[in-house]
Amino acid sequence: MSGMYSYLGLFLCLLFSVCCSATTFPSRRVILREVNDNGGDHPDYAVDLNVTNFDAVLKDTPATYAIVEFFANWCPACRNYKPHYEKVARLFNGPEAVHPGIILMTRVDCASKINTKLCDKFSVGHYPMLFWGPPTKFVGSGWEPKQEKSDIRVIDDARTADRLLNWINKQIGSTYGLDDQKFENEHLPSNISDTEQVARAIYDVEEATSTAFDIILEHKMIKPGTRASLIKFLQLLTAHHPSRRCRKGTAELLVSFDDLYPADFGSPNKQDDDKGLVKNIKICGKDVPRGYWMFCRGSKNETRGFSCGLWVLLHSLSVRIEDGESQFTFNATCDFVHDFFICEECRQHFYKMCSSVSSPFNKARDYALWLWSTHNRVNERLMKEEASLGTGDPKFPKTIWPPRQLCPSCYLGIDQRNNKIEWNQDEVFKFLTNYYRNTLTALYKDKNIVGNDEVEVAVEDLIAANNAIVVPLGAALAIAVASCAFGALACYWRSQQKSRKYFHRLYSLKTI
C-alpha cells in the first residue's frame, strides 16, 4: 500500500512540473512600494507600470482609486511635471505613505515600444495625460474621448501638485494637504462596521503574518525545542489562512522545512546559513510586508498595527476550522504564542489563559468563543492599564467586543451581582463567523483571489492521531485535482512527513 502511495506521489509531482512548465505567469508587483532609487536621491513613489504588469498590479491593489499617468521619457514637460506628481504620490504610495491604501498612483512610459498598444487603448493624445478611476476598471479596459459613460475619467486640472491634490480632494470629499505627515491630520474611519473597511482587514492579516515570521527569523527563534510548534502553526495556516498567497507560502515552507531547518540548525556551523534564510523566506510572497496598515491602523504610530493584525488572523482561523480541528487549533495557537510571541508579558498572560483550560475542545464553536472571551479578557486588562498611564489610542480605545451597536442581539443584559455582561453566545458566534470569515474575505472573493478552500485543503490534512502530526496520503488526489500546485506541494510534503512524529510539550493532542 505504501508503494502505491509513493507512485501516486511521484505522479502528482510530475503533474505539477508539467503544469508549471505549460503555464508561465509574469510576477505581480504589489502596489504601494518604493520601486526606484532615483539616482541616489529619494525613491520614486509612483509605481512604474508597463504592458506586462499593468492589469495584474491594478487588479491586486487594495486602493479604492487609481491614477495612471501616461507620459514619454523624452518629453521636457513630462520631466518637469514629475516632481509635482511625486509630491502627491508620496502621500499615498510607499511604506511611509501618509494616507496608505486610498489611491494608487502609477505611470506608464508611452515612449517605450512595448507600451504602444497600451497607450493606444487609452487614446493618449498628449503628454502628460492623467486618468482617474477604480483600479479594477482599468483592467482589460481602455478609454475613448467620445465615450458617453465611463468609470475612467481624464484629470483635467493637474498642472501642479496643489491643483492635482485639490482635484483629488473634490472627488472623494477629503482635505489632504501636501504638508501632511504620517499619523497627523488623519481621517480614520470611525464606523468599524463598514463592510469595505472590514474586508480590507485581509491585507492587515497578510501584513501581520509576514511580520510575525520576519520577527521569528530575525531573532533566530527557530530551535530544536520550537520546531514542532512552528510546524503545527504552519499546517494551520496552510489549511485555513484567509489569504491564498499566505496559504501558498506556508505550504512551500513546509515542503522545504527539513532542508531549511535541519535538526542541527541551531549549531554554530549553521549560523551563516541562518543569515541567508532570513533574506529568502517570504511567507506571504515577496511583496509582503508592505509597511503599512489599513483596517488596523491607529491614530498614533505606536498603537494598533501588528497586535491588531495578529488578533484578526487568530479570529479568522477560529471561524474557518471544522469541529474535528478545534483542539488542534487550540494547541497550535497556544504553542505558537508561547514559543514565538516576543512581548514577554503578553506571552505569559496568554499562556496562563491557555493553561487554565481543563477539557479538550470538541466543537469549532467552543474554540471560537474561547478565543473571543480570551481577547475580551485581554482588552479588560489593557483598558485599565492604558487609562491609568494614558498610553491608549484616543480614537481606538480598548473595548469589549462586539459593541452593542454592531451586535445588539449578542447582549442579554447585565449581571447585577458582578456587573458583567450576559451574552447570547449563539448570536456572538454568528457575529464572529460573519465578521471574521464572510465579510473578511468578501474583498478577495470579489477579485476572484480566493479558491475553494474545502477542496484545496482537506480536513484530514490537519488532524493527527496518537499524539503525532501524520497527514493522510489519500487526500493528495483530491487536492491535486482542485489545484495542481497545492497538490504537488502536499504530495511532496507528505512523502517527507509520513514517518515523523512531532510531540508537543504543552498540550497532548486527542485522538479524533
What single string gives the DSSP state of each residue in 123-172?
Answer: T--SSSEEEEE-HHHHTT----TT-SS-S-EE----SSHHHHHHHHHHHH
Site of grid cell 515570521? 213
**Euclidean distance between CA atoms 191 and 158, whole angstroms:** 32
Cell representation of residue 439: 465579510
Identify whether the C-beta of residue 137 lies closer than 8 Å to the C-beta of residue 152.
Answer: yes
Q: Give, in words, the CATH class of 197-497.
A: mainly alpha
Strands (E) in 373-443, as ranges, are 411-415, 420-423
Give the CA dihedral 58, 47, 300, 438, nearest 10 degrees: 10
Q: Is 67 helix (H, G, I), strand (E, B) or coil?
A: strand
- Residues whose CB falls within 8 Å of the CB of residue 177, separated by 6 or more in sequence, listed in order: 165, 185
Q: Assess whether 284 carries a catalytic annotation.
A: no
Res 323: pLDDT: 94
Instruction: Write out residues in the chain with pLDDT < 50, as ranges.
Output: 1-40, 184-191, 268, 271, 275, 278, 449-512
Q: DSSP 3-state assignment of 31?
A: coil
Mutual angle of helices 425-433 and 364-389, in 10-degree steps = 90
Please report the DSSP string for 451-491 in residue order. Answer: --HHHHS-GGGT--STTS----GGGHHHHHHH-HHHHHHHH
Which of 13, 19, 20, 78 is catalytic? The answer is 78
Asked if 107 contacts 49 with a C-beta cutoff of 8 angstroms, the reply is yes
Q: How far is CA 260 from CA 59, 209, 211, 488, in A?
A: 33, 19, 19, 19
Nearest in space to 249 (alpha carbons), one of 297, 209, 193 = 209
Helix (H) / strand (E) element for 366: namely helix 364-389
pLDDT of the residue at 464 = 33
Do residues 341 and 347 make contact, with C-beta atoms less than 8 angstroms apart? yes
Please give the Cα distance from 268 to 262 (Å, whole number): 13
Report the distance separating Cα 370 and Cα 356, nearest Å. Answer: 11
Backbone angles phi, psi at 105, to 5 degrees: -105, 125
Give the integer Cα–Cα distance in Å for 204 and 217. 20
Residue-wise pLDDT for 278-315, tens only, equals 456 788 988 788 888 888 888 777 788 899 999 999 99
Name the amino acid, one letter, at 508.
S
Query: At the topology level of CATH, where does 38-175 sit?
Result: Glutaredoxin (3.40.30)
Contact 161, 85 (CB under 8 A): yes
Known active-site residue 110? no
User: What percent of the chain is helix, strand and coil (3-state, nearest 5)?
Assistant: 50, 5, 40
* Residue labelled with grid coordinates 531547518: 261
Nearest-angstrom CA–CA distance, 101 and 198: 13
Helices (H) and strands (E) in the chain, counts: 21, 7
Q: 75 CB contacts (<8 Å, ≥6 apart)? A: 111, 127, 128
Q: For residue 71, what are the β-bridge partners?
A: 109
Between CA 296 and CA 294 the distance in angstroms is 5
DSSP reduced 3-state for 108: strand
CA torsion, ordered 293, 299, 302, 304, to nearest 10 deg: -50
DSSP 209-220: HHHHHHHHHHTT
The rounded distance, in Å, linking the Cα atoms of 325 and 317 is 11
Give the integer Cα–Cα distance in Å for 169 and 179.
14
Catalytic residue among 19, 20, 75, 334: 75
Domains of the chain, by residue range, sit at 38-175, 197-497
| CA dihedral over 477, 481, 483, 484, signed as positive or negative | positive
